[in-house]
Amino acid sequence: MVKITVDGKVLEVDENNNLLEEVLSHGEDLPYFCWHPSMGSVGSCRQCAVIEYADDEDTRGRLNMACMTSPRDGARYSIEKAAQFRAQAIESIMINHPHDCPVCEEGGECHLQDMTVMSGHNYRRYDGKKKTHTNQYLGPFIGHEMNRCITCYRCVRYYKDYAGGTDFGPQASHDNTYFGRWQEGPLESEFSGNLAEVCPTGVFTDKPFSKHYVRKWDLQTAPSICASCSVGCNTNPGERYGTLRRVVNRFNDEVNGYFICDRGRFGTGYVNSDERIIVSMTRDSRDDNPVLASPEEARTSLHSMMGAIGIGSPRASLEANFALRELVGPDNFYAGVSSAELGMYKQILDIYRTKPVKVARIKDIEASDAVVILGEDVTNTAARLALAMRQSVKNEGRKMARDMKFPDWHDAAIRQLAMDCKSPLFILSPYATRLDDVAAQVHIASAEESAKIGYAIATAIDGNAPGVTGLSKESQALVKTIAEALKGAEQPLIVSGTGSMSPALINAAANIATALSDGEKKANLALVVPEANSLGLAMLMEESDRALEQAFACEETHAIVLENDLYRRAPSADVDAFINKMEGLAVLDSMKHKTGEAANLVLASGTFAETSGTFVNYETRAQHFYSVFKPVDSIQSSVKWLSDKPLAEVTADCAKEIEGCAAIVGLTPGADFTVAGMRVPRQQHRYSGRTAMRADVDVHEPKQEQDEDGIMSYSMEGVPATRDSTVFNTAWSGGWNSNQSVFKFQSHTGGPLKQAGHGICLIENIASEKTYNEFEKAESAKGDYQVFPLYHLFGSDELTAKTPAIQEKATSGYIALNEADVAKLGLQASDGVAVENNGSVPYIVRSSIQPGTVGVSVGLEGLNFRNLPGAVSLQKAEGWTSPGSWNAANIIISDKSVAAEGETA
Amino acid sequence: MFSLQVGSLLNVALILGTVLVSAALLIWVERRFLGFFNDRLGPNRVGPFGILQSVADVIKLITKEDWTPPFADKLTFVVAPIIIPIVMLLSFAMIPFAPDVGIIDMNIGLLFVMAMAGLASYSAMLGGLASNNKFSLLGGLRAAGQMISYEVFMGISILGVVILSDSFSLRGIVEAQADGWYVIPQFIGFIVFMVAALAESHRWPFDLPEGEAEIISGFNTEYSGMKFGLFFVGEYIGMLLMACLIPVLFFGGWHAPFGLGFGNPIVSGLFWMAVKVGAFVIFFILVRAALARPRYDQLMSYGWLVMLPLSLINLLITGAIVLSQGS
Amino acid sequence: MLKGLVHQVKIIWTQIVSLWLVFLHLFHKADTVEYPEVKPHTFPRWRGRIILTRDPDGEERCVACNLCAVACPVDCIALQKTEDEDGRWYPEFFRINFSRCIMCGFCEEACPTHAIQLTPDFEMAEYVRQDMVWEKEHMLIDGTGKYHDYNFYRVAGKAIGGKDKGEARNELPPTDRRSLLP
């Protein structure tokens, strides 16, 4: 810490950060464009100019960019004295900026607007001709309006340098500079949505949001948690006129930081979908037509199902699952996943509890300097982690810079210095993944072989670890390389997960991490699970192994299925048999699906946007999400359908009853939380149209919606976030209307939030004793082709797949084969492949796949992965036509050697 | 019985009818004149020249919700507004409108009128108390204080007239003015009486019991519908009464000025009486349009420190002169 | 004592003067305008009934920017943006609850396209309150209102049907992104 003087004020600042960051941390307003807390400084926009004085006698000083300046002990700076320079700079920046604010999606939350006002440039003197640019079609997610560009280069620095995108960059020169793709087409990166937040003005905008656009101040928002995967990114969804309009990132230092993936950002349109269940329906027998049931009738029918079993869900909140467990009794509660999956979840919980490892937060992943990924396609199963791993490989460059006494924030310099030097990242996977471009080495291997290699690595690090036999020479060399890289690393990281559906692989990852631990120093371990609350469900199942197989075999004749489409979880035949056996089947869900169609009683329950609850993410971090808006009366939260108690009481009961969950009551400030008698408002103080939005129905205004869960109110009245941000909703601060204002709520710029919580990890890892798992050879399936799952960020998730924008990026179910196998099967480009007992599907050719193995898409329409045994036989399909939703162009892979027919059907 | 003589049924019916109709009409007259004084037109929409405005008002008042606040003293709340029109109407029994036109010629007529005026203050006071509302209470208190104070020198101011005419009978007083109006010898008495009359009927600028700027609507804050209407009508009858009393006491009643009497003395008397009453009504309206309301303490100090000494001096001088002439 | 007396006389005198002056008003002409027989003259900038106007090309001026709604102190304007196939923004619905409107004119001041304008029409009473809620089809007129020449899209950079990039006022033709020349 050093002391500096800024405009007469003495500030104590950290000399390792740049001056801009520190000045902002101390509450001063200094404009900036190109600097970003997670991308560092390049000093290109000339907006954060300050005057630096050489000594006490110096009266002239010299102009410096604050973002490129390390604070000097005892130095004197002035923000005010450089005001004229900044005003001139922004005037130049604004010369070609179009007169677009009224028709710009960024208007009202535009960093450029804020900075222009802050710099005092309020009149355009330039009346010459403006430069213009044509726009590009960049896919269903991102809109492009190049005229508005101020060439701050943030987009390129984010898309290329940070997120590793290869299809986007700067073009032309001088003031013709253009940012776009080399030719029109969808952006390939899975993190393209962040461009809308990174761009300080309206060049890149959220396209689905633009279709039903409203201004930021008109959105009713609440702190929420992304329900699309197990990372649990913090989001801030916004609603207007009863429909969910958009999702933006909500800063959480411990989890997602400033960025989320495109599935989370664009995958919530299903909330407004026609496929929503909006009323409860009932019928006596499965052959009758369902009739409308009032909420009271539906509730009565549900609660009169005596002796029913309950089937929980990894995508329902902890509270909803618990409420079902309470309703049917713990002995009748079954996890809504297969026993193999439940076993893996519990295995992961067990590893977190008993192994001497550190459960890796995203922050830890970014700080890791050697990474091994064991059989998990992280980009498609937990995308945000993949983005973090991309950052981890840059640590080598930072290390080099530190040796040369470069500060960490010096982005361009570090990139120049590091060039292609990367921290090691090893990937063991049955096919080429999207992280291969930053990997030191990629090893294509089946899950079993990867597991073996994993065990061998553990043994190579710690001789006490159980070994394996039968490794090839090539594999042994790899084991040696990886083991050495890990041993040499300060913060090694092992990533695996349930994606390969191989418990051995997870054990292998645990073994490596355990082997690396040395007293206080623990290796990072991240084990990915499939869904938002997979581990939460596993915690409820601590004492029982009741999974779907057990439910299907039970003797009861009534069942309540909570937010779960069983056909996606188990082989169709098993589910059919189970449903036929049931006399009464109640399904609570928000979306129509096949299980719901077979039910006697369907209850309309709310999505994440309409309910509150708790999700437990891959690191057992419990996080509370608040309902964003109140749906129509006929839709209720699952907790409300299942329990008579208010949510806070259900949470409290769950905390009391379930081992390890005691902390979840601390996730919210309590139902009676107020500040000076005020609740936390969901609407902004500028919220408009209150007396007209419902006037077409009735000119008499209804009472403001009440939130019985407390804490927040459906109103613009309440405590402003600038006064109290215990519940951190939308970031806004005077003069800072854009999302950049988040630094006003951080303890220091880029650091953790001042007041708001960041979730609580339910499992505190305190184990220190090194124990290893023995390698258990799994029974390998007999068949022509060994099957492995292929995940898709866009499409594999049940709910997000029902969002129009995601559907544009998704495709139908398919298989992937090696060229040799294609030739063996005699497939032509236009052919489909008949999968044993599962109809015919399209195929693509991937050169990375080993002969004799086949990748099968998971969760995509037209092919149920769970129907397939471990190995299948394939045949050329006769007279086959590709399904309408088949779109091979949406399968973004690096090893696609032959474009399959029907690419753009 | 139907002949034209004091106390005949015809007389009673005519006077009662005229007074009630005039009081109602007065509301319209006042609003129109106020309009003119303010360079406006006033109500001119209902009927010719808006003359039916009062009818419309009454219909509105009657059809309004007749609400009694749950916290009020019910009986008193209902009785209070009835008092004022009754006592005011009773006072009219004493007024001699013309020779042979009047209801009673009582030898203590003036005292009776004073007594009735005193009773009228109960209406405002009880109304204010019964409403059980702090603004009403304040209004009631103001009404009581103001009326008691101004009644004192109102009585004293007319004693000069009584001394000169040697009579308490109003008809006697009028007849005594046949050869000279008392306004000349009793000018001070007239001024004091006039001010007291304004205060007594709590008309502007002495409408402190209702002072809406401070106490909403004073004693009648809680009143609505026809109960409020009774207060309202009562006040206008009171104003008419005062406008009748002043000519009777100081301006020669029905006697024509400067020998301008004509034909039948009753017709001529009624005509001149009407002219004089009309003039004072318009004067009252002018006062309302022109003068600002004093503070309550100003009102009280004027009453006790200016009006009372003035009326006492007037009484003293009158008495002395009459005594000296009589001896 | 004497001074006090003079003061009192003065006070009384001023009261008498007031009475006299007010009395004289009896003979003045009334200022009242007898609406509805006599219509008052309203000036073009009178703040009465709100309308939506069209640009000189006959297209809807409103671009659904929401600024009127946020400027409205009684929050009586609600609208939803949508766009045509060529990217032109316009309101899907535009609703004003005139039973809440206070005719302050902030919406007109906030409007960047001169779309929303207040007119001299003040006769807006209705017997049914629901009839005070006006939708776009009730408010959209066929003319330009008070401002005849302004066409927002002619000065904005956004391309719409009939006006491509570089065709707005004071714009250069689109740059060639393949060229490295300045």
Give pLDDT tens digits for A553-607: 988 889 999 999 999 999 999 999 999 998 889 999 999 999 999 999 999 999 9
pLDDT of residue A498: 93
The tens digit of pLDDT for each residue in A137-154 reads 999 999 999 999 999 999
pLDDT tops 80 at residue A879? no
Minimum Cα–Cα distance from B36: chain C residue: C26
Q: Rounded mean pLDDT of A349-375? A: 92
Please name the residues in contact with B162: beta carbons below 8 A apart, sequence gap of 6 or more.
B110, B168, B173
pLDDT of residue A902: 42
Q: Do chains C and B touch (3 or more CB pairs under 8 A)?
A: yes
Q: Is C34 on the interface with B (CB under 8 A)?
A: yes
Of C8, C31, C34, the CB nearest to B39: C31
List the structure tokens of B174: 């009028």
Q: Which fold has domain A785-899?
A: Barwin-like endoglucanases (2.40.40)
> Could you write out the DSSP letters of every residue in A461-503?
H-TTSPP-----HHHHHHHHHHHHHHHH-SSEEEEEEGGG--H
CATH number belonging to domain A357-521: 3.40.228.10
The tens digit of pLDDT for each residue in C67-99 reads 999 999 999 999 999 999 988 999 999 999 999
* Local confidence band at A103 (pLDDT 50, 70, 90 cut-offs): very high
pLDDT tops 90 at residue A614? yes
| Cα–Cα distance measured from residue B66 to residue B142, given in angstroms and rounded to the nearest whole number | 26
Amino acid residing at A708: E
pLDDT of residue B2: 58
The CB density around residue A834, as the number of other CB atoms within 10 Å, is: 18
pLDDT of residue A896: 64
* CA atoms B279, B280, B281, B283: torsion sign: positive
Alpha-carbon torsion angle B168, B169, B171, B174, nearest 10: 0
Which of C15, C24, C27, C37 should we substitute to test contact with B (largest number of B Cβ atoms within 10 Å)?
A: C15
The dihedrals phi and psi of A243, each to the nearest 5 degrees, come to: -125, 150
| Cα–Cα distance measured from residue A227 to residue A264, given in angstroms and rounded to the nearest whole number | 8
Mean pLDDT rounded to a whole number for chain A: 91
Which residues of chain B are within 8 Å of residue C29 when distances are taken between CB atoms?
A: 39
A312 neighbors A324 (Cβ within 8 angstroms): yes
In this prediction, what percent of chain C has a pLDDT beyond 90?
Answer: 70
Residue A811 DSSP one-character state: -
Which residues of chain C are within 8 Å of residue A693 when distances are taken between CB atoms?
A: 78, 95
- Closest-CA residue to A135 (of C181, C158, C180): C158
pLDDT of residue A313: 94
Give the strand pairing for A558-562 and C77-83: unpaired
Of A135, A174, A688, the CB nearest to C72: A688
Per-residue b or e along A859-874, where b marks 16 or more CB atoms closer than 10 Å to that residue's CB: bbbbbbbbbbeebbeb
List the structure tokens of A354: 């008993």
ipTM, two decimals: 0.89
List the structure tokens of A275: 């496929």
Q: Is B290 on the interface with C (CB under 8 A)?
A: yes
- Closest-CA residue to A711 (of A744, A751, A757): A757
Minimum Cα–Cα distance from B39: chain C residue: C30
| Cα–Cα distance measured from residue B200 to residue B120, given in angstroms and rounded to the nearest whole number | 9
**Chains in contact with C, where contact requires at least 3 CB pairs less than 8 Å apart:** A, B
Q: Rounded mean pLDDT of C168-173? A: 91
Minimum Cα–Cα distance from A213: chain C residue: C81
Query: Is the CB of A103 less than 8 angstroms away from the CB of C89?
Result: yes
pLDDT of residue A560: 94
Q: Do chains A and B touch (3 or more CB pairs under 8 A)?
A: no
| Cα–Cα distance measured from residue B174 to residue B186, given in angstroms and rounded to the nearest whole number | 14
Q: Is B301 on the interface with C (CB under 8 A)?
A: no
Per-residue b or e along A50-60, where b marks 16 or more CB atoms closer than 10 Å to that residue's CB: bbbbeeeeeee
pLDDT of residue B327: 52
| Cα–Cα distance measured from residue A846 to residue A168, given in angstroms and rounded to the nearest whole number | 24
- Fold match, A357-521 / A785-899: no
Which residues of chain C are within 8 Å of residue B306 when distances are taken between CB atoms?
A: 8
Mark residue A859 as left, alpha or beta (left: phi above 0; alpha: psi -120 to 50; beta: remaining). Answer: left
| Cα–Cα distance measured from residue A447 to residue C81, given in angstroms and rounded to the nearest whole number | 50
Give the CA radius of gyration of chain C. 27
Query: Is the CB of C30 less than 8 angstroms away from the CB of B33?
Result: no
| Cα–Cα distance measured from residue B248 to residue B161, given in angstroms and rounded to the nearest whole number | 10
pLDDT of residue A286: 81
How far off is chain C from A121, nearest CA to CA, in Å? 18
The tens digit of pLDDT for each residue in A407-450 reads 989 999 999 998 889 999 999 999 999 999 999 999 999 898 99
Query: Is the CB of A176 less than 8 angstroms away from the CB of C175?
Result: yes
pLDDT tops 70 at residue A652? yes
E strand or H helix at A450, and its extent? helix A447-461
Which of C177, C178, C180, C181 should we substitute to test contact with A (largest number of A Cβ atoms within 10 Å)?
A: C177
B34 neighbors B285 (Cβ within 8 angstroms): yes
B253 neighbors B96 (Cβ within 8 angstroms): yes
Coil vs helix vs strand at B242: helix
pLDDT tops 60 at residue A898? no
Residues of C numbered 40-79 whose beta carbons fall under 8 angstroms of chain A's beta carbons: which are they?
63-67, 69-70, 72, 74-79
pLDDT tops 60 at residue A791? yes
* Local confidence band at A897 (pLDDT 50, 70, 90 cut-offs): low
Minimum Cα–Cα distance from C156: chain A residue: A99
| Cα–Cα distance measured from residue B156 to residue B131, given in angstroms and rounded to the nearest whole number | 34
A846 neighbors A855 (Cβ within 8 angstroms): yes
The yes/no answer on whether domain A2-92 falls in CATH 3.10.20.740 is: yes
How far off is chain A from C36, nearest CA to CA, in Å? 28
Distances (CA, A) of A635 to A225, A590, A801: 20, 8, 21
Of B39, B41, B306, the CB nearest to C25: B39
What would you measure as the largest C-alpha separation in chain C, in angstroms? 102
| Cα–Cα distance measured from residue A135 to residue B222, given in angstroms and rounded to the nearest whole number | 70
| Cα–Cα distance measured from residue A546 to residue A534, given in angstroms and rounded to the nearest whole number | 15
Inter-chain Cβ pairs, chain A and chain C, closer than 8 A: 152
Q: Does C36 sit behind a cis peptide bond, omega within 30 degrees of 0 on the bond before it?
A: yes
Minimum Cα–Cα distance from A217: chain C residue: C70
Give the CA radius of gyration of chain B. 20
Helix residue spans in A206-317 (DSSP H): 207-211, 262-266, 295-303
Coil vs helix vs strand at A220: strand
A366 neighbors A387 (Cβ within 8 angstroms): no
How far off is chain B from C14, nearest CA to CA, in Å? 10
Residue with tokens 């009934």: C49
Which of B29, B291, B293 should we substitute to test contact with C (largest number of C Cβ atoms within 10 Å)?
A: B291
Amino acid residing at A370: A
pLDDT in tens, chain B (327 residues): 556 677 788 888 888 898 888 888 888 999 999 999 999 998 988 888 889 988 898 898 888 888 888 888 889 999 999 998 899 899 988 888 888 888 888 888 899 998 988 888 888 888 888 888 889 999 898 888 888 888 888 899 999 899 888 889 998 898 888 888 888 888 989 999 999 988 888 787 888 888 778 888 888 888 888 888 888 888 888 899 999 999 999 998 888 888 787 888 888 888 999 999 999 999 999 999 999 888 888 888 888 888 899 899 999 999 999 888 875
Residues of C numbered 140-159 whose beta carbons fall under 8 angstroms of chain A's beta carbons: which are they?
152, 155-159
Strand order in the sheet with A333-334: A291-293, A280-282, A601-604, A584-589, A558-562, A309-311, A333-334
Per-residue b or e along A305-322, where b marks 16 or more CB atoms closer than 10 Å to that residue's CB: beebbbbbbbbbbbbbbb
The CB density around residue A173, as the number of other CB atoms within 10 Å, is: 14
Q: Where are the domains of chain A?
A: 2-92, 357-521, 785-899
The tens digit of pLDDT for each residue in A480-496 reads 999 999 999 999 999 99
Of A210, A215, A689, the CB nearest to C77: A689
| Cα–Cα distance measured from residue A698 to residue A693, given in angstroms and rounded to the nearest whole number | 10
The residue ranges of DSSP E strands in A231-283, in sequence order, are 234-240, 243-249, 280-282
| Cα–Cα distance measured from residue A739 to residue A746, given in angstroms and rounded to the nearest whole number | 13
pLDDT of residue A901: 43
Residue with tokens 């403006």: A130
Which residues of chain A are within 8 Å of residue C178 when distances are taken between CB atoms?
A: 171-172
Q: Is B67 on the interface with C (CB under 8 A)?
A: no
